Amino acid sequence: MTARTLQGFMELLPQEQIVFNRIKSVIAHTYELFGYAPLDTPVLELAEVLLSKSGGETEKQIYEFKKGDTDLAMRFDLTVPLAKYTALYANDLTFPFKRYQIGKVYRGERPQKGRFREFYQCDIDVIDRDELDIVYDAELPAVIYTIFKELNLPSFKIYINNRKLLSGYLEALNIADKTVDVLRLVDKIKKIPEEVFLGELKDLGMPQDKNSQLLNFIKIKGLNKEIIAKLEDLKIENQNFVDGLSELKTVIEKAQAFGVPEQNIQIDLSITRGLDYYTGTVYETFFDDYPQFGSVCSGGRYDNLSSVFSNQKLPGVGISIGLTRLFDQLKDNNLLQFPALTPNKALIITQGAEFDALAAQVAAQLRQNNIAADVMHRSCKFKKKMEYANKIGVPYLIIIGEEEAQSQQYTIKNMTTGEQTRLLPADLIKLLS
Amino acid sequence: MTARTLQGFMELLPQEQIVFNRIKSVIAHTYELFGYAPLDTPVLELAEVLLSKSGGETEKQIYEFKKGDTDLAMRFDLTVPLAKYTALYANDLTFPFKRYQIGKVYRGERPQKGRFREFYQCDIDVIDRDELDIVYDAELPAVIYTIFKELNLPSFKIYINNRKLLSGYLEALNIADKTVDVLRLVDKIKKIPEEVFLGELKDLGMPQDKNSQLLNFIKIKGLNKEIIAKLEDLKIENQNFVDGLSELKTVIEKAQAFGVPEQNIQIDLSITRGLDYYTGTVYETFFDDYPQFGSVCSGGRYDNLSSVFSNQKLPGVGISIGLTRLFDQLKDNNLLQFPALTPNKALIITQGAEFDALAAQVAAQLRQNNIAADVMHRSCKFKKKMEYANKIGVPYLIIIGEEEAQSQQYTIKNMTTGEQTRLLPADLIKLLS
C-alpha cells in the first residue's frame, strides 16, 4: 500500500506546522483579547441544515453522503453552523454575542494550485437581537489590523464599502430591478477590462446612458474623507444611499479611532462581495504588493443571520481569515521563516546513559520554568547526537558529561552563534527564559 | 427549518467551550514543553489508506463515501494517519520523531450517553528508525502526569503493563497458540466476575489446570517493586517474559525518576489493550474515585508503526487522551467550574455614547497589555448594560461617565466581591494583569 494524501488537502512538515500554529494562535489570542468567545461546532451536520440557505455553487462542491438513513454533509463554511447554533441556543446566549471559530471547512473544488478542499477559516462575528450597533462594523477592521501587525505581514489594506450605497444609487437611477446582477458584475470589475464591464452591463439590459454614470460612481477614488465628501456632494436623497453613506462614514471614523491607520483602511466602492448575503458593510483585504493573493480576509454585515432557522431578528457582522490559503501563499512567496523542526528551546544530549538521570532533572527544571526542552535518547555515538541537534535546528544545545556532572555547571551552546559556555541550572533558566 | 445538531456530536455553550479550550491548550502546551512537534493531518483520507490495517469493528463504524470516483473516509483515529504521514515523509523527518496531534476523529457508533461520534483525541507518539529507546516508554507517563496535575484533575493512576509478560507467560505454559484470545479476554477481566472469566477461558479450550495459574498471575498485586520482585521470583526463562520484565522494570524506574510519584503509576498485569496492535508497554489511566469513567488515557508501544506503508522498521510508543469524553464525564460529575460566558477579564460600559472614544482608548491600552477587554455597544439604558455584565460573569467591570472622563480615573468594580474604586489607567493595568 502506497502512503498517499488526497489532492487539495494541506499537510505540513513539522517546522512548517510550528509556524502555521503560531499564526493560528496569534489569531485566536487576538480574537479573545477583543472579547470574542470560542466556539466549536461539528464538522458534520444534517445535509438539510447546511443546505438550507445555499445556492447551486455550494451544493455542487459539498461533501454529502448517507449514513444509514441520514443525509449528512461536511460544513463548507462556519457561518451556516453559526446561524444554526445561534438559533438553537438563543435562549442560553447573552447578546450581543461575540464568538470566534477557527476550524476546517470542506469544498470539493477542482484541485488547482492555491485551492484547497480542506481549509481553515478563522471567523469572528457579533450578533445582537433586533438591532446591532454599527460600532461593531468598525471593531472588526481593528481586530484584523491588530492581527496582521502582530504577525508582521506585508503592507495591507482593508477595503471597505457599504452595499446600501450601490443599491441606493441604482434605485436613484431607477434601475433597482437590476441590483442583484449589477452587484455581481461590479464584484468582478478588478478582474476584467472596462470595455468588457460596460459590455456586460449592456447585456443586462441596462440603459446605456446610465452605464458610464455607474462606472464613474464605482471608480470614485481618493482618501477616505475625500470619497465621503464626493459621495455627499452627489446629494442623492434615496434613503438606502443616505443610510449607507452615514454607516460607512461612522465605520471609517470609528475604525480610525480604534487605531487603524488611514493607510490600512480604504473605501472602495467596487467591493460588493457579489454572491454573498451581506446587506450593509462589506470588507475585503489585500496585500499592497501581492494583489495576486486575492482577498485574504473578507466579510460583512447581514440583517438577519438565522432567518432560515428562527423568527427572531438576529443581525450580525462578521469577518473571516482564510488561513490555509494565506499560509500557502506566504510560503510560496518566501514571506515566512521556518526556524526549527522542533518546538524545543533547548535539547539536552549526554555523553553516556549514566548521565540520563541528570539530564532528566535538568529538563524537568526547564519545563517547570515554561521552557520547552527535550533529552535525546538513542544508543548511538555522541557525534550522531550532535548531528541530530544540528538537523532539527534547536536554538540551544545543553551537553552533560563527566565534568558537567561533577561541577553541576552544564555546557550550553548557542546553535546560531556557536558560542559555548558553562552555567549553573539557575543561570541556564535565566538565559533560556 | 428547525435548527438541529446531530446526535453524538458535542456542541458547547460559550462558558463550557472556554473551559474545554483551556484544557485543550494545557495539553498542547505541555506536549510542546516535552519537545513534541505539532502535526495536523486531513480529516478526510482515501478509504483504502485508513482501512489498510483495520479490523471489522472499525469498518462498520467508519464514515465512508464516494465523491466522484474516489472512495473517501473520515479518520477514526490519529494513529493510522500518523503511520501514513511517517511513511510518506520519512526522508524529510528527523528521528527520533516526536509529534503531537490534537484533532477530531469520527466513529459512527450507536449514540448513547458518553459515546460520541465526533470526538477529540490528543495523541503523542515518538517514532525512531529500527530501534526506539525504552526511555520514551517512561516519558509518556511523565507527560500525562504533568498534564493531569496542571489541570488539577481528581486523583488518578496510570496503569502500566508489558504485553510480552503475558505472552511470554503463556509461551512458558505451552499455550502460546491461545495468546490473542487470552489477551482479549484478560482485557475484559475488570468487567466480568471471576467465574465467568474462568468459564470463558475453558471455552477457549485452555487446559483447566493452567486457568487458575493464569488467573493468579494476572492478579498479582502490590507496590510496583513488590510486583516486580514477585515476577522475578517466578524464575521464568522464556525470552519474551524476560524482556517484558526488564522493560517494565526500566519504565517504572525511569518514570519515577522523571517525577511520577508511586501513587500515580501502578503495574497492573491485567491491562492488555485487547484488540490493539501493541507489542510491549501498554497504558491505561483511571481516576481512583471514578472508575466508571473507564480509561481516560491509553496507549502503548508498537514494533512497527508503518508496516503497511513502508519497508522501513519504524517502532514507536504513543498515548492518547480522549478529551471529548473526559470533558463530558468531568462536567456530568460536577468536576468542572464554568466561571464566565466571556474570555474578557474586563468589560467596559459607558454612561452614554459620548464616552465611546474614551472607552475604546482604555480597551486598547488593556489589550496592549495582554488583558482581554471589551466595550459593550448597544443603545440601551445603563441598567441594561449592568444586567449584561452580571449575566456574562465578567470578573471586572469598568464604568466610564462624566466624572471618570474628567478625572481620567475610571471606576472599576470587582464583580465577585462587589468592591468598587477609581483608578488611573496604569493602575487598572496593574490590577488586571
Q: What is the 3-state secondary structure (H, E, C) of A293-351?
A: HCCCEEEEEECCCCCCCCCCCCCEEEEEEEHHHHHHHHHHCCCCCCCCCCCCCEEEEEC
Chain B nearest-CA distance from A98, in A, is 9
Sheet holding B64-67, edge to edge: B44-46, B70-74, B64-67
Question: Considering its fold, how many domains does chain B have in total?
Answer: 3
Task: Name the nearest CA neighbour of A280 among A175, A141, A178, A165.
Answer: A165
Report which residue type is found at A391.
K
* B43 vs B182, higher pLDDT: B43
Domain assignment present for residue B4? The answer is no
Same domain as A292, residue A175: yes
Task: Name the nearest CA neighbour of B252 among B276, B230, B283.
Answer: B283
Contacts 24+ apart (CB under 8 A), A175-183: A175/A206, A175/A207, A175/A210, A178/A204, A178/A205, A178/A206, A182/A206, A182/A214, A183/A272, A183/A274
Say what the ipTM of the complex is. 0.94
**Domain final position from A332, A359, A392:** A332
Question: A42, B11: Cβ pair inside 8 Å?
Answer: yes
CB contacts of B97 in chain A (<8 Å) are 14
CB contacts of A344 in chain B (<8 Å) are 35
Same domain as B91, residue B111: yes
pLDDT less than 70: residues of chain A: 54-57, 275-276
Question: Would strands B396-400 and B346-350 be described as parallel, antiparallel, or unpaired?
Answer: parallel
CA distance B149 to B142: 11
Residue-level pLDDT at B191? 85
CA distance B190 to B270: 8
Q: Are the beta carbons of A302 and A128 closer than 8 angstroms?
A: no
Same domain as B131, residue B36: yes
Task: Name the nearest CA neighbour of B10 among B370, B325, B309.
Answer: B325
Question: B63, A46: Cβ pair inside 8 Å?
Answer: no
Residue-level pLDDT at B339? 82
Residue-level pLDDT at B54? 62
Average pLDDT over all residues of chain B: 93
Residue-level pLDDT at A56? 60
Residue-level pLDDT at B379? 86
CA distance A98 to B342: 9
CATH of the domain at B222: 3.30.930.10
CB contacts of A37 in chain B (<8 Å) are 14, 17-18, 341-343
CB contacts of A21 in chain B (<8 Å) are 38, 40
Domain assignment present for residue A5? The answer is no
Same domain as A218, residue A149: yes
Domain assignment present for residue A162? The answer is yes
What are the angstrom distances between the C-alpha of B338 and each of A41, B18, B253, B432? 19, 8, 38, 20
Domain assignment present for residue A1? The answer is no
CB contacts of B87 in chain A (<8 Å) are 3
Same domain as A73, residue A40: yes
Domain assignment present for residue A9? The answer is no
Question: Would strands B265-267 and A410-414 be described as parallel, antiparallel, or unpaired?
Answer: unpaired
Q: Are the beta carbons of A343 and B32 closer than 8 angstroms?
A: yes
Integer-rounded Cα Rg, in Å, for chain A is 27
Structure confidence by residue, pLDDT tens digits, B337-378: 888 888 999 999 999 889 988 999 999 999 999 999 999 998
Same domain as A326, residue A423: no
Q: Is residue B151 over pLDDT 80?
A: yes
Chain A nearest-CA distance from B45, in A, is 6
Cell of A112: 488547482
Residue-level pLDDT at A59? 73
Q: Are the beta carbons of A366 and A428 closer than 8 angstroms?
A: yes
The residues pairing with A122 across neighbouring beta strands, listed in sequence order, are: A102, A321
Structure confidence by residue, pLDDT tens digits, A115-172: 899 999 999 999 999 999 999 999 999 999 999 999 999 999 999 999 999 999 999 9
Q: What is the distance of C-alpha B268 from the center of its chain?
A: 21
Which of A74, A85, A391 comes nearest B11 by C-beta? A85
Q: Are the beta carbons of A2 and B87 closer than 8 angstroms?
A: no
Question: A377, B63: Cβ pair inside 8 Å?
Answer: no
Same domain as A239, residue A154: yes
Structure confidence by residue, pLDDT tens digits, B191-213: 889 889 989 988 988 888 888 89
Domain assignment present for residue B2? The answer is no
Residue-level pLDDT at B285? 98
Ranges A236-245, B13-22, B271-280: which has the least confidence: B271-280
Indicate the Cα dihedral angle B242, B244, B249, B252, nearest 10°. 180
Residue-level pLDDT at A92? 94
Question: A377, B42: Cβ pair inside 8 Å?
Answer: no
**Domain final position from A309, A332, A355:** A332
Structure confidence by residue, pLDDT tens digits, B203-256: 988 888 888 899 999 999 999 999 999 999 999 999 999 999 999 999 999 999
What are the angstrom distances between the C-alpha of A316 and each of A71, A98, B67? 29, 10, 34
Question: Would strands B156-162 and B265-267 be described as parallel, antiparallel, or unpaired?
Answer: parallel
CB contacts of B83 in chain A (<8 Å) are 3
Select the residue from B18, B19, B32 to test the A interface by mutation, using most A Cβ atoms within 10 A.
B32
Element (H, E) at B267: strand B265-267
Domain assignment present for residue A258? The answer is yes
Same domain as B64, residue B88: yes
CA distance B418 to B433: 19
Same domain as A107, residue A186: yes
CATH of the domain at A412: 3.40.50.800
List alpha helices for B234-378, DSSP H: 239-257, 323-332, 356-368
Select the residue from A4, A26, A44, A95 to test the B interface by mutation, using most B Cβ atoms within 10 A.
A44
Select the residue from A34, A74, A107 to test the B interface by mutation, using most B Cβ atoms within 10 A.
A34
Residue-level pLDDT at A110? 81
Task: Name the nearest CA neighbour of B373 among B355, B398, B394, B347.
Answer: B347
Chain A nearest-CA distance from B187, in A, is 31
- Confidence class for position B63, pLDDT limits 50, 70, 90: very high
Domain residues for the domain of B366 are 346-432
Q: Are the beta carbons of A304 and A313 closer than 8 angstroms?
A: yes
Q: Which residue has cell 520554568?
A: A369
Question: B96, A135: Cβ pair inside 8 Å?
Answer: no
Residue-level pLDDT at B125? 98
Residue-level pLDDT at A322? 97
Same domain as A118, residue A176: yes
CA distance B92 to A341: 10
Taking phi first (over 0 means left), then psi (-120 to 50 degrees means alpha), and beta for anything else, what does residue A272 get? alpha
List alpha helices for A34-178, DSSP H: 47-50, 56-61, 79-88, 135-150, 163-172
Chain A nearest-CA distance from B223, in A, is 22
Domain assignment present for residue A234? The answer is yes
Q: Which residue has cell 550550553?
A: A412
**Domain final position from B288, B305, B327:** B288
Same domain as B216, residue B126: no
Same domain as A350, residue A327: no
CB contacts of B391 in chain A (<8 Å) are 94
CB contacts of B5 in chain A (<8 Å) are 41-42, 45, 84, 88
Share of chain B above pLDDT 70, in %: 99
Chain B nearest-CA distance from A349, in A, is 13
